Amino acid sequence: MKTSGMAGFKSLVILMIESEQPEGISSRKLVVETAKHNVITAYNPTNGLELLRRFPAVDAVLLHAAVLDHLPLIEQIREISPDLPIIIATPRPSDHYEGANYIIPSHEPQLLLDLLSRVFGVKKSTSDT
């Protein structure tokens, strides 16, 4: 986990892999960056895996359920970084995604910040900076 100059604040690096149009990822990216975390974005699985290899200090991967063949992608992420938390953002959070650590609704960004707070012990919003 990365730390910034602010006492006690932990800044995370999140790799977002989505096959949606860039404006779809932008809203999730904006929410995470507004909370003072770093985001690396990929618009397809191949690019996401390349980025993970280039930047192994990623704290978590956020994978949108719309990415086709997500199970092989999750397996490849595990080969690169076995303990890396994988978060699935999906419009159907009741679905099962084998290999994922966490499943969140894709259209509720505050739940992503709540998850990051719970899992990594980081603050949820920028209001307390």
How do residues 56-82 score in pLDDT, each as one tens digit?
Answer: 899 999 998 777 678 899 999 999 999
CA angle 92, 96, 102 (to 5 degrees): 85
Structure tokens at 23: 């404006």
- Residue 6: pLDDT band by 50, 70, 90 thresholds? very low
Mean pLDDT of 12-24: 79
Average pLDDT of the chain, as a whole number: 83
Residue 6 or residue 120, greater confidence = 120
As assigned by CATH, the class of the 10-120 domain is: alpha beta
User: Could you give the CA distance from residue 61 to residue 92 in angstroms, rounded to a whole number?
Assistant: 19
What residues pair up with 128 in beta bridges, in sequence order? none
Alpha carbon 66 to chain centroid, angstroms: 14
Residue 55, φ and ψ in degrees, nearest 5: -125, 75
Q: Where are the domains of the chain?
A: 10-120
